[in-house]
Structure 1
Amino acid sequence: MMNKLSEPIVVDWRFLFGAGVIMVLALWFSKKARTVTKTEVNLARQGEGIERFDSSVASRQLVRRAVSFSKFMRRITPHQVTEFVENRFKPIPEEERDTASFDLIRASVNLTVAALLISLGTSLKLPLSTTYVTFMVAMGTSLADRAWGRESAVYRITGVLTVISGWFITAFVAFTVSALVAFGLMYGGIYGVIGAILLVIIMFIQFARVHNKREKNAEMEEPGFVTNEHDLIVNCTNEIKSSVENTMKIYKGLLDGLFNEDRKGLMKLYKIADEFHGKSKRRRAYEVLPAIQRLNPESLDTAQYYVQVTDYFYEISISLRYMTESAFNFIDNNH
Structure 2
Amino acid sequence: MDNIYLLMLVALAVLAIADLVVGVSNDAVNFLNSAIGSKAISFKTIMIVASLGIFIGAVFSSGMMEVARKGIFVPGQFYFEEIMIIFMAVMITDILLLDFFNTLGMPTSTTVSIVFELLGAAVVMALIKIGANNTETWGDLGNYINTAKATEIILGILLSVVIAFTIGALVQWISRVVFTFHYEKKIKNFGALFGGVALTAIGYFIFMKGLKGTPYYGDFKELIEGNELIYILASFVFWTLFSFLFMKIFKKSILIIVIAIGTFGLALAFSGNDLVNFIGVPMAAYHSYEAWAASGEAASAFSMNILETKVPAEPILLFIAGGVMVITLWFSKKARTVADTEIGLSRQGEGHEKFQPNMLSRAVVRGSTRLSQALGLVLPTKTRENINARFEKPVVELPKHKTYELPAFDMIRASINLVVAGVLISIATSMKLPLSTTYVTFMVAMGTSLADRAWGRESAVYRVAGVINVIGGWFFTAFSAFVAAGTLAYIIYLGKGVAIAVLLLLAVLLLVRNYISHKKKRDSIVGKDGLKKTESNTVQGIIQESADNIANVVSRTNKIYSDTLRGLAKQDTSKLKKSKKGVKKLNDEIDELRDNIFYLIRDLDDKSVRGSNFYIIILGYLQDVAQSLEYISKASYKHVNNNHKALRFNQIKDLQEIDQSLEDLLAEIEVIFNNKEIQRIEGVLDKKQQLFEYVSEKIEKQIARTRTEESSPKNTTLYFSLLLETKDLVTAIMNLMEEYYMSYKKQ
Normalising by structure 2, we get a TM-score of: 0.42
Partner letter of residue 372 of structure 2? S
2:317 matched to which residue of 1?
Answer: 15
Q: Deviations over 1:235-263 (max 9, x none)?
A: 64543332222112112323444555545
2-structure distance, mates of 1:69, 1:283: 34
Deviations 1:265-317 (A, max 9, x none): 33332232233223323432x33223433444444222222222222211211
Matched, 1:88 2:390: yes
Cα shift at 1:190: 2.4
Q: Show the 5 A alignment for 1:1-335.
A: 2=76, 3-95=305-397, 99-220=406-527, 226=535, 228-229=537-538, 236-258=546-568, 262-284=572-594, 286-331=595-640, 332-334=643-645, 335=715
Separation in 2, partners of 1:43, 1:231: 33
Q: Is the 8 A contact 1:257 1:265 kept in 2?
A: yes
* Counterparts in 2 of 1:264 and 1:191: CA distance versus 1, 3 Å: closer
**What letter is aligned with 1:7?**
T
Distance change >3 Å, CA 206–CA 123, structure 1 → 2 = farther
Cα 1:195/1:216, change in 2 over 3 Å:
same
SS across alignment from 2:349: coil
Q: Is the 8 A contact 2:449 2:455 kept in 1?
A: yes
TM-superposed deviation, 1:92? 0.8
By how many angstroms is 1:75 displaced? 0.7
SS in 2 for 1:95: coil
Question: In structure 2, what is the Cα distance between the partners aligned to 1:246 and 1:182?
Answer: 48
Distance in 2 (CA, whole Å) between partners of 1:135 and 1:227 is: 37
Query: Alpha carbons of 1:293 and 1:136: their partners in 2 closer, same or farther (altered >3 Å)?
Result: farther
Shift of 1:227: 7.8
Contact 1:148 1:156 in 2 (8 A): yes
Across the aligned residues of Structure 1 and Structure 2, the Cα RMSD in angstroms comes to: 2.7
Q: Determine the C-alpha separation between the residues in 1 that align with 2:383 and 2:313.
A: 58
Q: How many Å apart are 1:165 and its aligned residue?
A: 0.7
Q: Which amino acid aligns with 1:326?
A: A
Q: Check whether the contact 2:531–2:549 (CA below 8 A) recurs between aligned residues.
A: no
- Amino acid of the structure 1 residue aligned with 2:411: L
Q: Secondary structure at the match of 1:75?
A: helix
Q: Which moved more, 1:291-300 or 1:217-226?
A: 217-226
Q: Which amino acid aligns with 2:369?
A: V
Partner of 2:13: none
Query: Relative to structure 1, is the Cα distance of residues 239 and 142 closer, same or farther in structure 2, using a 3 angstrom cutoff?
Result: farther
Aligned equivalents of 2:589, 2:493: Cα separation in 1: 49
State the shift of 1:152 in Å.
0.8
In the alignment, structure 2 segments of 5+ residues that lack a partner are 1-74, 77-304, 646-714, 716-747
Identical-residue share of aligned pairs (%): 38
Mean Cα deviation higher: 80-89 or 237-246: 237-246
Secondary structure of the residue aligned to 2:391 is: coil
Provide closer, same or farther for how the CA distance between residues 47 and 181 of structure 1 changes in structure 2, counting only shifts above 3 A: same
Q: In terms of mean alpha carbon deviation, does 75-84 or 212-221 score higher?
A: 212-221
The 1-side partners of 2:517 and 2:441 are apart by: 26
C-alpha deviation, 1:47, in angstroms: 1.7
CA distance in structure 2 between the aligned counterparts of 1:100 and 1:237, rounded to whole angstroms: 32
Partner Cα separation in structure 2 for residue 254 and residue 170 of structure 1: 39
Query: What CA distance in whole angstroms lies between the structure 1 residues aligned with 2:607 and 2:409?
Result: 29
| Alpha carbons of structure 1 residues 210 and 127: separation in structure 2 relative to 1, 3 Å | farther
Distance 1:104 1:235 in 2: 36
Q: Tell me the amino acid that sits aligned with residue 17 of structure 1.
A: F
Task: Please report how far the alpha carbon of residue 205 of structure 1 lies from its aligned counterpart in structure 2 after TM superposition.
Answer: 1.1
Q: CA deviation at 1:38?
A: 0.6
The answer as to whether partners of 1:51 and 1:155 remain within 8 angstroms in 2 is yes
Residues 1:289 and 1:245: Cα distance change in structure 2 (over 3 Å):
same
In structure 2, the CA distance between the partners of 1:325 and 1:65, relative to structure 1 (3 Å rule), is: same
Deviates more, 1:185-194 or 1:101-110: 185-194
Which AA in structure 1 matches 2:591?
Answer: K
Whether the 8 Å CA contact 1:60–1:154 is kept in 2: the answer is yes
Greater relative contact order (Cα 8 A, min sep 6): structure 1 or 2? 2
- Give the stretch that moved more between structures: 85-94 or 236-245: 236-245
> What is the aligned length?
334
More deviation, 182-191/64-73? 182-191
Q: Tell me how far apart the structure 2 counterparts of residues 51 and 154 of structure 1 sit (CA, whole Å).
A: 10
**In the aligned structure 1, how far is the partner of 2:541 from the partner of 2:307?**
63
Change beyond 3 A, Cα 1:4–1:213? same
- Worse overlay, 55-64 or 133-142: 133-142
Taking the aligned partners of 2:330 and 2:433, their CA distance within structure 1 comes to 26
SS at match of 2:609: helix
Matched residue type, 1:10:
P
User: Where does structure 1 lack aligned partners over 5 or more consecutive residues?
Assistant: none
Check whether the contact 1:269–1:324 (CA below 8 A) recurs between aligned residues.
yes
CA distance in 1 between partners of 2:541 and 2:423 (Å): 42
| Deviation at residue 35 of structure 1 after TM alignment | 0.8
Q: Distance in 2 between matches of 1:174 and 1:234?
A: 53
- Structure 2 CA distance for aligned equivalents of residues 51 and 171 of structure 1: 27
Distance 1:251 1:78, change over 3 A: same
Question: Could you give the per-residue CA deviations for residues 201-225 of structure 1, whole angstroms, max 9, x where no partner exists?
Answer: 1111121122222223333558558
The amino acid of 2:472's aligned partner reads S
- Report if aligned partners of 1:59, 1:154 keep a CA contact under 8 Å in 2: yes
Distance 2:456 2:598 in 1: 15
Give secondary structure in 1 for the equivalent of 2:325.
Answer: helix
Conserved 8 A contact 2:428-2:435: yes
For 2:633 and 2:610, locate their aligned partners in 1 and report how far apart those are by CA, in whole Å. Answer: 35
